[in-house]
């Protein structure tokens, strides 16, 4: 029996010398072999609870964007006057020989005046008065002060109606894209989405993008729906675009899936990434050799390797057989464009050799 096994191993060795070992993933030692070279082209960082927060402070990679949003409390005032609104003025003046009212009248009502693109309205005897951005009460006080030189005792009544120019565009990704007039200053983004037929159900991991003037804001739809303070008030001229979150990382090696994995949440930890790829292959994977490959921009490289990587290309290693490694993986954030590689266990390679040996000499039948 021993002679048969030795012969089998010898024959398997001859077979393996002429071809590569049939397996699906690299060994950890193969991937990290270059780290001991005189001039390695990458650095290796073993991630643990002691350094995971330090690594988290390094510059981001794989994505030039960033989620930033205007919370409801930071949005435009619900009653602020904007160009295109209509101002209705009623002036009460009881003095004799008033410039504004007739002898038999004590008040004068002006036809609704549209706020100009410059944010002004024209009032007879007063000229152009700036009301843009003011609340109705502040605008009333402004008109009152401007009137004091010609009618010191006059009283001003002012009301505002949102104008037709105050509308927002729902550009794409909704059931009914189009231009929507704002019926009031309290028109929120969730109201717009409801009127626009909601988010297209074919969008995966949808994002909500708001373009206002020259700035762009973005938030994941699930977060917008979950947090009340994100339901920001819209402003005339806003443009809303609904699209898919196209951030992804690559899964390779002895995992349940070798594919592009798209971000299902705003951030994903290394441990969550393992779940998203279907976990490690029980028969092949090396839980001590989970690697994340990442490339940093040259400007992020730091000689001290503390506030930034020591080299552009970095391989982060995780040992998922220890509590320290599991906690580190739970707190390590995967970046877009990262590659998550589960290396193959050396035991799996050894089993392959013995399997070949048994097949060569027919030990399966004799044992």
Q: Work out the burial of residue 110: count CB atoms within 10 Å of its CB; fewer than 13 is exposed, 13-18 middle, 19 or more buried.
A: middle
Q: Say yes or no: do domains 72-77+166-244 and 86-161 share a fold.
A: no
More confident residue, 88 or 10: 88
CATH number of 86-161: 3.30.1950.10
Report d(CA 135, CA 23) in Å as an integer.
71
Span 36-72, pLDDT tens digits: 888 899 999 999 999 999 999 999 898 876 788 988 7
Question: What average pLDDT does this structure show over 203-230?
Answer: 93
In this structure, the dihedral spanned by the alpha carbons of residues 170, 224, 71 and 273, taken in order and rounded to 10 degrees, is -120
Mean pLDDT rounded to a whole number for the chain: 83
> Spelled out in words, what is the top-level CATH class assigned to the domain 24-63+248-349?
alpha beta
**CA 249 – CA 261 distance, rounded (Å):** 5
Confidence of residue 97 (pLDDT cuts 50, 70, 90): low
pLDDT in tens, 231-240: 999 988 899 9
pLDDT tens-digit series, residues 6-16 = 454 444 444 44
Compute the Cα dihedral for 277, 281, 285, 287 and give only its sign: positive
Please tell me the distance from the alpha carbon of residue 155 to that of residue 133, in angstroms, as a whole number.
Answer: 22
The CATH architecture annotation of domain 72-77+166-244 reads: Roll (3.10)
**Phi, psi (rounded to 5 degrees) for 90:** -125, 125
The domain ranges of the chain are 24-63+248-349, 72-77+166-244, 86-161
- At 99-149, the pLDDT tens digits run 666 666 778 888 999 999 999 999 988 899 999 988 889 999 999 999 888
Q: Is the distance from CB of 280 to CB of 255 less than 8 angstroms?
A: yes
* DSSP track, 288-347: EEEEEEEE--GGG--TTSSSS-SSSEEEEEE-TTSHHHHHHHHHPEEPTT-EEEEEEPHH
Q: Is the pLDDT of residue 155 over 70?
A: yes
Which residues, 6+ apart, have CB-to-CB distance to 116 below 8 Å?
83
Alpha-carbon gap, residue 357 to 363, rounded angstroms:
8
**How far is residue 223's CA from residue 333's CA, in Å, rounded to a whole number?**
18
Whole-prediction pTM = 0.66
């Amino acid at each position: 029996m021993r002679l048969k096994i030795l012969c089998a191993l010898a024959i398997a060795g001859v077979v393996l010398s002429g071809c590569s070992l049939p397996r699906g993933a690299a060994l950890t030692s193969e991937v990290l072999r270059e780290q001991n070279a005189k001039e390695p082209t990458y650095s290796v960082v073993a991630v643990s609870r002691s350094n995971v927060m330090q690594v988290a402070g390094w510059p981001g990679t794989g994505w030039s964007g960033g989620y930033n949003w205007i919370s409801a409390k930071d949005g435009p005032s619900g009653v602020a006057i904007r160009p295109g609104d209509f101002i209705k003025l009623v002036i009460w003046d009881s003095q004799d020989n008033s410039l504004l009212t007739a002898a038999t009248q004590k008040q004068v009502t002006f036809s609704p005046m549209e706020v100009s693109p410059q944010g002004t309205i024209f009032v007879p005897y007063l000229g152009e008065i700036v009301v843009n951005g003011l609340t109705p009460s502040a605008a009333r006080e402004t008109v009152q002060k401007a009137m004091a030189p010609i009618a010191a005792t006059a009283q001003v009544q002012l009301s505002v109606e949102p104008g037709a120019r105050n509308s927002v565009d729902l550009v794409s990704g909704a059931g009914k894209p189009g231009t929507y007039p704002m019926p009031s200053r309290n028109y929120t983004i969730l109201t717009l989405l409801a009127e626009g037929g909601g988010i297209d159900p074919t969008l995966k991991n949808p994002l909500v993008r708001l373009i206002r003037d020259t700035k762009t804001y973005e938030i994941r739809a699930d977060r917008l729906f979950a947090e009340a303070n994100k339901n920001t008030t819209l402003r005339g001229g806003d443009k809303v675009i609904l699209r898919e979150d196209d951030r992804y990382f690559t899964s390779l090696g002895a995992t349940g899936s070798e594919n592009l994995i798209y971000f299902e949440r705003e951030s994903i930890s290394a441990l969550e990434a393992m779940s998203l790829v279907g976990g490690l292959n029980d028969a092949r994977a090396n839980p001590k050799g989970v690697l994340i490959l990442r490339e940093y921009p040259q400007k992020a490289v730091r000689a001290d390797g503390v506030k930034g990587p020591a080299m552009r290309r970095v391989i982060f290693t995780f040992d998922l057989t220890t509590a320290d490694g599991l906690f580190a993986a739970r707190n390590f954030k995967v970046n877009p464009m990262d590659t998550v590689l589960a290396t193959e266990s050396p035991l799996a390679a050894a089993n392959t050799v013995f399997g070949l040996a048994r097949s060569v000499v027919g030990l399966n039948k004799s044992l």
